[in-house]
Chains A and B, each alone.
Chain A
């Protein structure tokens, strides 16, 4: 559905997007993850024909975004970072206007607008002036606008920005529901959003793709080692030496708790080995008190921070 090949974008000699390539299949939800200024919005703007790329080609719904931009524009829905709203218009007449300029036939326009209003829960405010709506409603009007005329591909730039937790939940469900009939690309810097809604994640940083996988695969891939945390009551050096001697342990880090013989040990073990039993047995057999033991799983957040801070280290 979307093919991006070696796309770069240069602004005043600075590379905002640097040689990005990825593919999105029909019906997929692709999450675009990256810190602010990583090039998410620029990539979206290139794919939505708002601006041309400096290098490389991109195809959306089978059409080149530069050569056949009109065909692409007929087939996409786009929610920019700031919802493109006319504050002096009423919700319904705004949606009517967007339906018109997206080329919806007049016979279908009414049903399309009604559908979009219903999907985004805008029934209560359909006759209100957009400028007087709260941020959450404005965001949903923006989303409704993107859904009009049933686009094949949806680009959503931070779709849950400014919504309250309940609305965020609703919008995520809405996006998941769209996946059967639409291809969705969404960008976000909220990590749980990606693991909840997306099939695949592209992490970009400083204009480059640093990782691309399923959310689970990504967490697994980057982890590299299993980690276990133990809290032990016993002589610190002896405990550390004992833990280090166990087969499969890569490293041990200690954090002494103030004014007590307790300490927390973070043990890194080889991948795919569960050493929790062995570690527990080792501690108990020495007569030390084992107060706590748990494995630390690496969240997507750790992956993200790990990937995007590598270069500055």
Chain B
């Protein structure tokens, strides 16, 4: 436990000592803020124009509409950002030779991996918590229902956790960070658009394709539905990623 904590601490420090953390946070909040503003003003515009045309304005739950769109946007931003959080986790240790330190001390593969994964999760959590800033006006000027917002955030966190595990695995495969980042991004994207690869399939294959898609499981969360089957999907995804990473680290020893 002490080891995992030590690895976690070092990893957090290296996120926040290097500009990575700040750059990622800034870009993330900037894009979120931009989309929030655009979505919000277009909705307002819409209601105003409806009223001007003399039509009866349909009641719209603006906070809900805006947050749902924002979560959709964050799904896309995260797919770009997460590979940057995981690219260095093991590939950099390999390149610098510090992996030799970790593996010849009592830490070993497993604890090093868990420590690093937890650190990347912590950073993801930081991003998600920081994005509360973006939607805070909704709470300041109104009383939105917090429950669908919470479930949306939960979904995003699970989705991010799954992608982080994938990235962690890929960073054990190479000592080149560029390769790691591109592979992680490419695979995440491919997993997202799996259904698009089988446009004409129907029936079971279509269901399988859409089940595999990492984003399809997010829709319910964003709508405010917490469904255990989706939680199981993400947790399993993360678990498989970690398991592959562990095997890859073990095999590295044998290959030398």
In the complex, A98 Cα to B102 Cα: how many Å?
9
- A residues near B107, Cβ cutoff 8 Å: 101
Chain A residues 89 to 122 lying within 8 A of chain B, measured CB to CB, are: 89, 93, 97-98, 100-103
Q: Does A87 belong to the interface (CB within 8 Å)?
A: yes
- A residues near B6, Cβ cutoff 8 Å: 97, 100-101
Min distance, Cβ B4 to any Cβ of chain A, angstroms = 10
Chain A residues 67 to 105 lying within 8 A of chain B, measured CB to CB, are: 70, 73-74, 76, 78, 80-89, 93, 97-98, 100-103
Residue in contact with B104 in the complex, picked from A76, A81, A82, CB distance below 8 Å: A76
Q: Does B147 belong to the interface (CB within 8 Å)?
A: no
Q: Once the chains bind, are A102 and B105 in contact (CB under 8 Å)?
A: yes
The 7 A-B pairs of least Cβ separation, nearest first, read A84-B101, A100-B6, A84-B98, A82-B97, A48-B104, A80-B100, A101-B107
Listed stretches A49-57, A202-210, A233-241; interface member: A49-57
Min distance, Cβ A133 to any Cβ of chain B, angstroms = 14
In the complex, A78 Cα to B254 Cα: how many Å?
19
Binding site for B on A (CB under 8 A): 9, 11, 42, 45, 48-52, 70, 73-74, 76, 78, 80-89, 93, 97-98, 100-103, 145
Q: Once the chains bind, are A70 and B106 in contact (CB under 8 Å)?
A: yes
Q: Does B228 belong to the interface (CB within 8 Å)?
A: no
Q: Once the chains bind, are A11 and B256 in contact (CB under 8 Å)?
A: yes
| Interface flags, B1-25, vs A, CB<8A=1, else 0 | 0110011011001100110000000
Q: Does B144 belong to the interface (CB within 8 Å)?
A: no
Q: A85, A88, A97, A100 — which one has the most chain B CB atoms within 10 A of its CB?
A: A100
Min distance, Cβ B8 to any Cβ of chain A, angstroms = 11
Q: Once the chains bind, are A84 and B96 in contact (CB under 8 Å)?
A: yes
In the complex, A117 Cα to B63 Cα: how many Å?
58
- B residues near A50, Cβ cutoff 8 Å: 100, 103-104, 253
Q: Which residue of B lies closest to A103 (CB)?
A: B106
Residue in contact with B106 in the complex, picked from A45, A81, A89, A102, CB distance below 8 Å: A102
Q: Once the chains bind, are A88 and B100 in contact (CB under 8 Å)?
A: no
Size range of the chain B interface in the assembly: 20 to 34
Q: Which residue of B lies closest to A80 (CB)?
A: B100
Q: Does B108 belong to the interface (CB within 8 Å)?
A: yes
- A residues near B103, Cβ cutoff 8 Å: 49-50
In the complex, A73 Cα to B10 Cα: how many Å?
20
With A52-B253, A89-B13 already in contact, the answer to whether A84 and B106 are too (CB < 8 A) is no
Chain B residues 8 to 67 lying within 8 A of chain A, measured CB to CB, are: 9-10, 13-14, 17-18
Min distance, Cβ B13 to any Cβ of chain A, angstroms = 7
Q: Once the chains bind, are B97 and A101 in contact (CB under 8 Å)?
A: no
- B residues near A42, Cβ cutoff 8 Å: 256
Q: Once the chains bind, are B98 and A88 in contact (CB under 8 Å)?
A: no
With A50-B253, A52-B253 already in contact, the answer to whether A86 and B14 are too (CB < 8 A) is yes
- B residues near A48, Cβ cutoff 8 Å: 104
Q: Once the chains bind, are B105 and A52 in contact (CB under 8 Å)?
A: no
Q: Once the chains bind, are A98 and B101 in contact (CB under 8 Å)?
A: yes
In the complex, A100 Cα to B5 Cα: how many Å?
9
- A residues near B256, Cβ cutoff 8 Å: 9, 11, 42, 45, 51
- B residues near A89, Cβ cutoff 8 Å: 10, 13-14, 17
With A11-B256, A52-B254, A103-B2 already in contact, the answer to whether A86 and B10 are too (CB < 8 A) is yes
In the complex, A102 Cα to B7 Cα: how many Å?
12
Given contacts A48-B104, A97-B6, A101-B107, 18 further A-B contacts (CB under 8 A): A49-B103, A73-B104, A74-B106, A80-B101, A83-B97, A84-B100, A85-B96, A86-B14, A88-B14, A88-B17, A89-B10, A89-B17, A97-B10, A101-B3, A101-B102, A103-B2, A103-B3, A145-B101
- B residues near A73, Cβ cutoff 8 Å: 104-106, 108
In the complex, A84 Cα to B256 Cα: how many Å?
17
In the complex, A95 Cα to B197 Cα: how many Å?
51
- A residues near B96, Cβ cutoff 8 Å: 82, 84-87
In the complex, A261 Cα to B98 Cα: how many Å?
64
- B residues near A83, Cβ cutoff 8 Å: 97
Q: Which residue of A lies closest to B101 (CB)?
A: A84
In the complex, A9 Cα to B254 Cα: how many Å?
10
Q: Once the chains bind, are A51 and B101 in contact (CB under 8 Å)?
A: no
- A residues near B104, Cβ cutoff 8 Å: 48-50, 73, 76, 78
Q: Which residue of A lies closest to B99 (CB)?
A: A84
In the complex, A176 Cα to B92 Cα: how many Å?
34
Q: Which residue of B lies closest to A94 (CB)?
A: B10
Q: Which residue of A lies closest to B253 (CB)?
A: A51
Min distance, Cβ B100 to any Cβ of chain A, angstroms = 5
In the complex, A98 Cα to B106 Cα: how many Å?
11
